[in-house]
Homo-oligomer: A and B are copies of this chain.
Amino acid sequence: MADTVRELPSEIAGYGAVRPYTGAFDNLGTLRRAVRTVHAARPGSDKVLPDIDAAIRACDLRDGAVISFHHHLRNGDGVLNHVLDAVARAGLRDITVAASALFPVHAPLIGHIRSGVVTGLAASTIYGPLAKAISHGILARPVLMYTHGGRARCIESGDLRIDVAFVAAPTADAYGNLTGSVGRAACGPLGYAVTDAQGAERVVAITDTLVPYPAVPIEIGQDWVDFVVAVDSIGDPSQIVSGTTMATTNPVALDIADTAARVIAASGLLEDGFSFQTGAGGASLAAAAYLGRIMSERGVQGSFAAGGITAGIVEMFDAGLFRALMDVQAFDHAAVDSFRRSEAHQTMSASMYANPHNRGCVVNRIDATILGAAEIDRAFDVNVTTGTDGVILGGSGGHADTAAGAKLTVITTSLAAGRHAKVVERVTTRTTPGETVDVVVTDGGIAVNPRRPELAERLHAAGLPLTTIDALANRAAELAPVPPRDRSHDGRIVAVVEYRDGTVIDVVRAVPET
């Protein structure tokens, strides 16, 4: 539809031809996955190499290569920085880093970009100093910002060709069987790494816990791993809980969370077999707790909760509110522990989780999801990619995936934060299209997407305070009377925001340093 198509160039230098986003479910059907190159192991050959430098040589890594990383250790990850240092020592240039997500701990990438070692980046979310540097134009080529499902899609399709995947493995054996369940830096499921290992031409496992063969329970099998390197530490597991995974204590946020739970309760979906996912935002986590209380009161037993899994979700699972957990990544140590002890706490690959181009991903089975927003606009489009200042502050992660799959997508946000409106005329950057958003819950009331009149009726019947998105936007503008930022001085495209199907849903442009 015309109203959802942003003006995009037909070609972006350093990215290529642009296929513009046209609709959330426009590019399904019959698809082809790429030819894969593998290097067959000879019986008796050894996979263990003395260090990362040796692995880089063994993989025959060249200038211009694409290397990948996963973010199960989140802000505690030590592997990406170690590898990039080794890449720099090897004298390599023009490397593209295709990460599942990048955290403040990865700020040293800035140095590698400045020195020309790294000239390309791709990530589903980028936090911290690196995000700021990108927004200020540190890279000549635009960053590719995919969704978690879109990343799996483009690896499988061959749109993203990974030369070498580096897998941070909490436990490995000498022949490359890997598990995240146990080890000094146990992180739980290795869902993002599974997709990398199956897609890359070469796979290097880096571990600080090398155990006798076989490293059971195996999550990534030896048939996917070329080399194994033992290091002193793959990172700091205490930093798995970081940033967005803390629950809120803000009373306004708690009130929004409570209302979001009541929206779900009134939606008609909260019956036996109910399935649920929250984002990692503070309000979302609080909403899960309220929802759990309603489920207990009603005696509803859910089928599963999905996502990154948190302590709050584990509590609901342990209380019998869900029969299973579908987990691509543990968000805290309670989730790591639950994954280790519970058979019904299942791992899933990034593709199984959220890839729109397979035979059916888990987000397709979610009844209700509660997600956050940096901004939401009159078209229900959501921005979790940039701040109102235009600077990158995150990215989709699974946001756009979950919204597309879930029967009911609830966005929670305050009307304004400080002097800036959060319900706006038009989002700074479109991450998640409004057609996949059903309702927004704010401290100024609830607005239902006009595409969902039957939902509005149900919420109205339940006595929930409904208003319209326009009324919310008007109220937000009153509360935060700062005019939208003047974007006329923004520069070239610094990031391309891909929707999960590989179409371009928006771009991020360079903003001047302030």
Contacts and interface: CB of A to CB of B under 8 A. Distances in A.
A346 B214 contact: yes
Interface stretch (A236-244, A350-358, A427-435, A447-455): A350-358
A129 B92 CA distance: 62
Which of A29, A32, A221 is most buried by chain B, counting CB atoms within 10 A of its CB? A221
Interface in A63-91: none
Interface in A308-361: 323-324, 326, 343-344, 346, 348-349, 351-352, 355-361
Contacts of A38: 30-33, 357-359
B221 A348 contact: yes
A364 B407 CA distance: 47
Given A38-B359, A41-B360, A221 B349 contact: yes
Which of A176, A218, A225 is most buried by chain B, counting CB atoms within 10 A of its CB? A218
A213 interface: yes
Interface in A1-52: 25, 28-45, 47
Number of this chain's copies in the complex:
2
A39 B29 contact: yes
B365 A324 contact: no
A217 interface: yes
Given A221-B348, A223-B351, A348-B221, A40 B214 contact: no
A310 to B, nearest CB: 19
B212 A359 contact: no
A222 B362 contact: yes
A32 B36 contact: yes
B223 A41 contact: no
Interface in A438-474: none
Contact of A176 (B28, B203, B212, B360): B360
B355 A223 contact: yes
A360 B47 contact: yes
A405 interface: yes
Interface in A203-224: 203, 212-214, 216-218, 221-224
Nearest to A217: B343
Contacts of A45: 360
A166 interface: no
Contacts of A326: 214
B28 A323 contact: no
A225 B359 contact: yes
A133 to B, nearest CB: 36
A175 interface: yes
Interface string A345-388: 01011011001111111111100000000000000000000000
Nearest to A37: B32
B43 A175 contact: no
A244 to B, nearest CB: 25
A360 B216 CA distance: 17
A80 to B, nearest CB: 22
Contact of A33 (B25, B35, B41, B217): B35
A404 interface: yes
A252 to B, nearest CB: 33
A368 to B, nearest CB: 14
A103 interface: no
A196 interface: no
A382 B149 CA distance: 49
A233 interface: no
Contacts of A323: 212, 214, 216
Contacts of A214: 303-304, 323-324, 326, 346, 365
B32 A40 contact: no
A194 to B, nearest CB: 10
A506 interface: no
Contacts of A484: none
A226 interface: yes
Contacts of A281: none
B35 A32 contact: yes
A273 interface: yes
20 contacts: A28-B41, A30-B37, A30-B38, A32-B37, A35-B35, A38-B357, A38-B359, A41-B364, A44-B364, A44-B407, A212-B303, A214-B304, A214-B365, A221-B349, A222-B359, A222-B360, A222-B365, A223-B351, A223-B352, A223-B359
6 closest pairs, A vs B, by CB?
A41-B360, A33-B36, A223-B358, A28-B40, A223-B352, A43-B364
Given A41-B359, A41-B361, A214-B323, 18 more contacts: A29-B40, A30-B40, A31-B40, A32-B35, A32-B36, A33-B35, A33-B38, A47-B360, A175-B360, A176-B360, A213-B365, A214-B326, A217-B346, A223-B349, A223-B360, A224-B359, A225-B359, A225-B360
